[in-house]
Amino acid sequence: MSIMSMSKTLFKNLFHGPFTVQYPIKKKDSYERTRGRIGIDIDDCIFCSMCQRRCPTGAIQVDKAASSWSIERLSCIQCNYCTEVCPKKCLHMENQYTSPSFGKVRDEFIKCTNTQSPSES
C-alpha cells in the first residue's frame, strides 16, 4: 500500500517542474503589506539617532555632525522597529526588495544644505 502512494508522489513530482522561482531572473510578486526595505526622507530627518539605538542588528548608522544616515541592507532584518520609534516619521517601509549582490551593501544618505553665503548675493 505504501509503495503505491510513494510511486504516485514520485510520478507527480517528476512531471510537475520546478516549485521555486528563479528570483533575479523572474521577479517575486509583492503584496500591499510586504516588508521590503527601509526608505528615508532625508530632508525631514533631524538625526536624533533613535533608529540607530533601536535597531537590533546595528544596521543603521547616524552621524549628526555630517548630517548623514546610512543602512547596511544585508544586515537589516526588516523588523520595522526604526520606523516605529522615529519622532519625525521620516522612515518608512518600501514595497520593494534590495537587489541581490555579492558583497555587503551600505546605502548612505546625506542631507544637502543649499545656503548662500552673504558674499555671493
- Tell me, letter by letter, the H, E, C secondary structure of the chain: CHHHHHHHHHHHHHHHCCCCCCCCCCCCCCCCCCCCEEEECCCCCCCCCHHHHHCCCCCEEEECCCCEEEEECCCCCCCCHHHHHCCCCCEEEECCCCCCCCCCCEEEEECCCCCCCHHHC
Average pLDDT of the chain, as a whole number: 83
Q: Contact at 8 Å (CB) between 56 and 81? A: yes
Place of cell 548630517: 67
pLDDT for 117 equals 42
* C-alpha to C-alpha distance for 33 and 53, rounded to whole angstroms: 25
Instruction: Report all structural domains of the chain as residue ranges with CATH numbers, in order of start.
Output: 32-112 (3.30.70.3270)
Cα 56–60–68 angle (5° rounding)? 160
Whether pTM > 0.75 for this model: the answer is no
Greater confidence (117 vs 13) lies with: 13
* pLDDT digit string, tens, across residues 26-67: 777 777 777 788 999 999 999 999 999 999 999 999 999 999
pLDDT for 112 equals 83
pLDDT for 86 equals 94
* C-alpha to C-alpha distance for 56 and 80, rounded to whole angstroms: 10
pLDDT of 14 strictly over 60: yes
pLDDT for 90 equals 94
pLDDT of 82 strictly over 90: yes
Nearest Cα to Cα of residue 101 among 64, 79, 74: 74
For the chain, what percent of residues have pLDDT higher than 90? 42
